[in-house]
């Protein structure tokens, strides 16, 4: 009767939070479409739903099943013999992932716009749990790619910073944290930079982007052709005085992780552990 229904309702609610949205961003060619397709294929194996093919030109929303063996923040210490793990495979945890095109021209209209909408949403159904920013770690040695990637990431972090600091919001309540995972993809490639170098390179380049924007603020005549994210603020908590690091973002309430992986590649299980560590990051946001 009613108690069973209630139990079912609460159990479902706990097992599959409906409000777990993630946004997948990053420059074109990083592997976002490949990642989305892989997750969807893995999920359809689990739930036998059909999966579509994607192009990189439109934003897509997919429902993904978190593998039962991946712990979540609320269930961090479950062991293999834990009955809740068996329950999890019967009643899997799902989340939604929105993939966005990374091409320069579409970035302003789609990726950044999507982030702004999702990050400012008060609707619990559209609540953003985290941002996955994917990068091609084999391409970052190219100066132009590095600059493009860092500029995009800078803009993403600035939007999250503004949200976190609650500028221009009537509410006095501080916004809940939206963490960022920098998914250092293509670790299977011989030419890939390891995650530690990716971190350093991006920090140094974001520092350069930040410095040139600060300079631009002082030079009123400067014409910035970049995406307008409101050029009135500096990324980081130090007014652009020091050297930028992702640690600075923690002071404004945004946790940034750089984690290696590989969507493709034969030896992904050993080298980049595939996408497992990214799934673990997602689990820790749930």
Residues 6+ apart with CB under 8 A from 138: 186, 189, 191, 192, 193
Binding segment for ligand GDP among 30-38, 64-72, 89-97, 225-233 (CB under 6 A)? 30-38
Applying CB under 6 A, among 32, 94, 129, 210 the residue interacting with ligand GDP is 32
The CB-of-26 to ligand GDP minimum distance in angstroms stands at 6
- Residue nearer to ligand GDP on the CB measure, 93 or 183: 183
Cα–Cα distances in angstroms (integers) from residue 54 to residues 26, 63, 105, 125, in the given order: 16, 14, 19, 24
**Tokens for 85?**
């793990």
Shorter beta-carbon distance to ligand GDP: residue 240 or 265: 265
For 25-73, give the secondary structure using H, E and C: ECCCCCCHHHHHHHHHHHHHHHHCCCCCCCCCCCCEEEEEECCCCCCCH
> Among 67, 71, 102, 283, which residue sits at the site for ligand GDP (rule: CB under 6 A)?
102
- C-alpha torsion angle, residues 68, 70, 76, 79 (rounded to 10): 60
29 forms part of the interface with ligand GDP (CB under 6 A): yes
Measuring CA to CA, which residue among 23, 21, 17, 68 is closest to residue 42? 68
Q: Which of 30, 64, 66, 112 binds ligand GDP (CB under 6 A)?
A: 30
Positions 155 through 214 that interact with ligand GDP (CB under 6 A) = 185-186, 188-189
Contacts to ligand GDP from residues 252-271, by CB under 6 A: 262-265
Please state, in angstroms and rounded to a whole number, the distance separating the CA atoms of residues 130 and 20.
9
Residue of the chain from 34, 119, 140, 282 that contacts ligand GDP (CB under 6 A)? 34
Token pair 């834990």 in the structure block, residue: 82
Closest contact distance (angstroms) between CB of 146 and ligand GDP is 16
Q: Is 170 exposed, middle or buried (0-12, 13-18, 19+ CB in 10 A)?
A: exposed
| Residue 240 binding ligand GDP, by CB under 6 A | no
What is the nearest approach in angstroms of ligand GDP to the Cβ of residue 127?
Answer: 24
Give min distance, CB of 263 to ligand GDP, in A.
4
Nearer to ligand GDP by Cβ, of 20 and 33: the residue is: 33
> Which residues sit at the interface with ligand GDP, rule CB under 6 A?
26, 28-34, 56, 102, 185-186, 188-189, 262-265
């Amino acid at each position: 009767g009613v108690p069973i229904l209630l139990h079912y309702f609460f159990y479902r609610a706990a097992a599959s939070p409906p409000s777990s949205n993630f946004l997948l961003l990053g420059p074109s060619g990083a592997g976002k479409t490949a990642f989305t397709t892989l997750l969807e294929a893995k999920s359809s194996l689990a739930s036998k739903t059909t999966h579509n093919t994607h192009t990189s030109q439109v934003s897509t929303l997919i429902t993904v099943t978190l593998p039962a063996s991946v712990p979540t923040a609320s269930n961090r210490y479950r062991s293999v013999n834990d009955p809740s793990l068996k329950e999890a495979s019967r009643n899997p945890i799902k989340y939604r992932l929105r993939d966005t095109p990374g091409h320069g021209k579409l970035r302003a209209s789609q990726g950044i716009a999507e982030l702004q909408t999702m990050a400012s949403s008060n609707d619990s159904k559209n609540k953003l749990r985290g941002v996955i920013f994917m990068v091609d770690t084999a391409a970052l040695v190219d100066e132009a790619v590095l600059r493009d990637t860092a500029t995009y990431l800078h803009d993403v972090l600035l939007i999250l910073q503004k949200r976190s600091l609650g500028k221009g919001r009537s509410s006095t309540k501080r916004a809940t944290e939206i963490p960022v995972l920098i998914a250092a993809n293509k670790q299977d490639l011989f030419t890939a930079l390891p995650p530690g170098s990716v971190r350093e390179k991006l920090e140094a380049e974001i520092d350069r982007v930040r410095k040139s924007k600060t300079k631009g603020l002082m030079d009123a005549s400067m014409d910035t052709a970049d995406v307008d994210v409101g050029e009135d603020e500096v990324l980081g908590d130090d007014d652009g005085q020091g050297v930028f690091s992702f640690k600075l973002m923690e002071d404004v309430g945004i946790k940034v992780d750089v984690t290696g992986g590989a969507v493709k590649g034969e030896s992904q299980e050993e080298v980049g552990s595939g996408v497992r560590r990214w799934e673990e990051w997602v689990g820790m946001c749930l």
